[in-house]
């Protein structure tokens, strides 16, 4: 994925525009449809190294579909990390299951396999590790736990693309994986998501679940035919399903993005390396550690601020005063969000299901549940890496150096 660092990259290029224009020229006719959805799914699966890829409207519906395909139902438990956007926990609740939160490893910010093992119960059905900020979790021990306890692993790869773990592409290791194509991600369709798997049965379940439970869709077939539609006796719906299909126009954009994804990902890596050089001699800014057997695609460069007298807010304010683009915080831990807290709990009607399946009690999540995550979340500074104009990335790195010098 090498490239010249000094050039300007067009994030949305000629291919995306060409494909969208081609689609618009078809007037969205079924008979003249260019078939971008199928082309995108095939190309995406080949890029990740899986047999199947099923495109969705966003990267949260993908989690819902994957949980269904994993057999997660009411009364089940799914183990995930609280140190991420709350979409995984919300999807677990949407599947009528209970989110169970495992702690993280301090230097990588990734879910801790030892903590996962302590959380496994007779009700555990699946594990959902998150590839946070572009780095893979330690997948080998997670997969070993899954094999030992007969669990399904769903990789949430929303924040990574083309990262590797021990030579294997992130998103190709678990039984299922979920990607996001939201606007800030490595490649985008404006909005979108993809479920990947090597299991034909799971792929078939994902497809039916995401296409209204239609009888004739399958792992590799995403639409019903004209003959089916025009048959008055056609039995369409064989199971509960939702309209999670990716629109054809999003697929056209996504296909164009995919065809120059290496360049887009490399620019993020180059930007992150530029910032890593800027903080190399700073003892109180500790970057997310990328193990030697992994590659990091750096959706963002995440560092821990451990200065004895400078807090997160003060550092960010000074960085921005010097002309910095801003610094993002880590998300509030999922179980610390108001909807999970006992006094402000709101599961949008899921309470009765959870109560009936768990002895009349709702899950409670108290401070101290994941002490490492609770500490690290308050320390994380996340720097943008999506600098398509290289001169702007260089300027931001210099501002970071200036800010470090100010507080040193």
Token digits for 151?
Answer: 């669990």
**Closest Cα partner for 220 from 200, 235, 236?**
200
DSSP per residue over 189-207, as a string? SSS-EEEEES-HHHHHHHH
> Coil, helix or strand for 335?
helix
Residue from 185, 343, 350, 352 carrying the catalytic annotation: 185
**Closest Cα partner for 153 from 191, 111, 188?**
111
Question: Parallel, antiparallel, or unpaired for β 77-80 and 124-128?
Answer: parallel
Cα separations in angstroms, 130 against 142, 196, 243: 12, 15, 25
DSSP per residue over 206-242, as a string? HHHHHBTTBSS--SS--S--HHHHT-TT---BSS---
Query: Cα–Cα distance between 12 and 335 in angstroms, integer?
Result: 37
Token digits for 333?
Answer: 């831990």
Query: Cα–Cα distance between 376 and 288 in angstroms, integer?
Result: 11
Q: What is the CA radius of gyration of the chain?
A: 22
φ, ψ of residue 404 in degrees (nearest 5): -60, -45
What is the Cβ-side half-sphere exposure of residue 205, based on CA atoms within 13 angstroms? 17
- Give burial (CB, 10 Å; 0-12/13-18/19+) of 343: exposed
The answer to whether 185 is a known catalytic residue is yes
- Give the distance from CA 316 to its chain's centroid: 26
CA angle 210/213/219 to nearest 5° reads: 60
Query: Cα–Cα distance between 112 and 109 in angstroms, integer?
Result: 9
Query: Cα–Cα distance between 196 and 253 in angstroms, integer?
Result: 19
What is the Cβ-side half-sphere exposure of residue 142, based on CA atoms within 13 angstroms? 29
φ, ψ of residue 230 in degrees (nearest 5): -90, 5
**Which residues does the annotation mark as catalytic?**
185
């Amino acid at each position: 994925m090498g490239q010249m660092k000094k050039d300007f990259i067009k994030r949305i290029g000629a291919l995306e525009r060409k494909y969208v224009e081609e689609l618009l020229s078809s007037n969205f006719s079924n008979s003249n449809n260019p078939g971008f959805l199928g082309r995108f799914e095939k190309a995406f699966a080949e890029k990740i190294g899986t047999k199947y890829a099923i495109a969705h409207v966003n990267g949260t519906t993908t989690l819902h579909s994957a949980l269904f395909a994993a057999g997660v139902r009411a009364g089940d438990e799914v183990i995930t990390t609280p140190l991420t956007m709350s979409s995984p926990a919300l999807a677990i609740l949407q599947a009528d299951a209970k989110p169970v939160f495992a702690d993280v490893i301090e230097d990588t910010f990734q879910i801790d396999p030892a903590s996962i093992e302590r959380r496994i119960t007779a009700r555990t059905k699946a594990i959902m590790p998150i590839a946070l900020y572009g780095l893979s979790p330690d997948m080998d021990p997670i997969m070993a736990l899954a094999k030992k306890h007969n669990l399904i692993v769903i990789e949430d790869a929303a924040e990574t693309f083309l990262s590797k773990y021990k030579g294997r592409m992130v998103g190709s290791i678990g039984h299922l994986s979920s990607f996001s194509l939201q606007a800030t991600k490595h490649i985008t369709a404006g909005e979108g998501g993809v479920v990947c798997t090597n299991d034909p049965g799971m792929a078939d379940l994902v497809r039916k679940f995401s296409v209204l439970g239609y009888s004739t869709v399958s792992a590799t077939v995403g639409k019903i035919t004209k003959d089916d539609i025009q048959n008055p006796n056609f039995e369409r719906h064989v199971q509960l399903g939702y309209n999670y299909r990716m629109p054809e126009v999003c697929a056209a954009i996504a296909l164009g993005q995919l065809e120059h994804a290496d360049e887009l990902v490399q620019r993020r890596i180059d930007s992150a390396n530029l910032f890593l050089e800027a903080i190399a001699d700073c003892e109180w800014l500790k970057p997310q550690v990328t193990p030697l057997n992994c590659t990091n695609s750096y959706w963002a460069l995440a560092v821990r601020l451990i200065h004895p007298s400078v807090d997160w807010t003060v550092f960010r304010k000074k960085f921005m005063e010097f002309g910095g683009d801003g610094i993002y915080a880590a998300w509030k831990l999922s179980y610390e969000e108001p909807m999970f807290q006992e006094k402000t709990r709101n599961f949008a009607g899921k309470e009765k299901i959870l109560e009936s399946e768990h002895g009349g009690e709702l899950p409670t999540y108290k401070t101290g549940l994941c002490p490492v995550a609770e500490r690290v979340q308050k320390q994380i500074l996340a720097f943008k890496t999506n600098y398509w104009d290289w001169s702007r990335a260089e300027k931001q790195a210099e501002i970071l150096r200036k800010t470090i010098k100010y507080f040193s």
